[in-house]
Amino acid sequence: MHSLLIECHPDFRRIEAPGLPVYTAGMVIVGVVGAVLGRWSCLATPFLFLALSLLLHAVFAGRRTVPFWRSAITDLRLAVVECPFGLGKLAGSVFAGNYHAAWNRLAEGDAEMNRLFPEIVSDLWSNNLALLLALVLVL
């Protein structure tokens, strides 16, 4: 559905960086390839990445007035919803042959994106740092 909406409404299309689901899928691939090559510790990569990403996101969100533990629990609940949705968005875009839909989001306009910008930046930093740390720790 996401792919179809992106295709039908180009005026509402905004570029979106790869999120937690895309990184998680990449880490699953790294884990499987590593295990096939004899590095069984690589199977821990997706789980280590998710844990580090959620922890870092909670730390970055902790700058706000929300207590750290509450932010971490909220992030965990959101990840449980975001990962299947994001993987479905990615798979649906690939199966529909609409590859750019995986890298776009629907938004009313730039004002909405400006409002969301701090959260988007926090997500990017937590995902990128977690990706780097997970790869360094496992490999």
Q: Which range among 19-28, 37-46, 67-76 has the greatest average pLDDT?
A: 37-46
Cα 33 to Cα 8: distance, rounded to the nearest angstrom: 37
Q: At residue 63, does pLDDT exceed 70? A: no
Cα 122 to Cα 127: distance, rounded to the nearest angstrom: 9
Q: At residue 64, does pLDDT exceed 70? A: no
Output the average pLDDT for the chain.
Answer: 81
The model's pTM is 0.71
Per-residue pLDDT of 26-60, as tens digits, reads 899 999 999 999 999 899 999 999 889 888 877 77
Q: How confident is the model at residue 66 (pLDDT cuts 50, 70, 90)?
A: low
Can you give the three-state secondary structure of the chain, one letter per residue?
A: CHHHHHHHCHHHEEECCCCHHHHHHHHHHHHHHHHHCCCHHHHHHHHHHHHHHHHHHHHHHCCCCCCHHHHHHHHHHHHHHHHHHHHHHHHHHHHHCCHHHHHEEECCCHHHHHHHHHHHHHHHHHHHHHHHHHHHHHC
What pLDDT score does 45 carry?
92
- Provide mean pLDDT across the span 13-20: 78
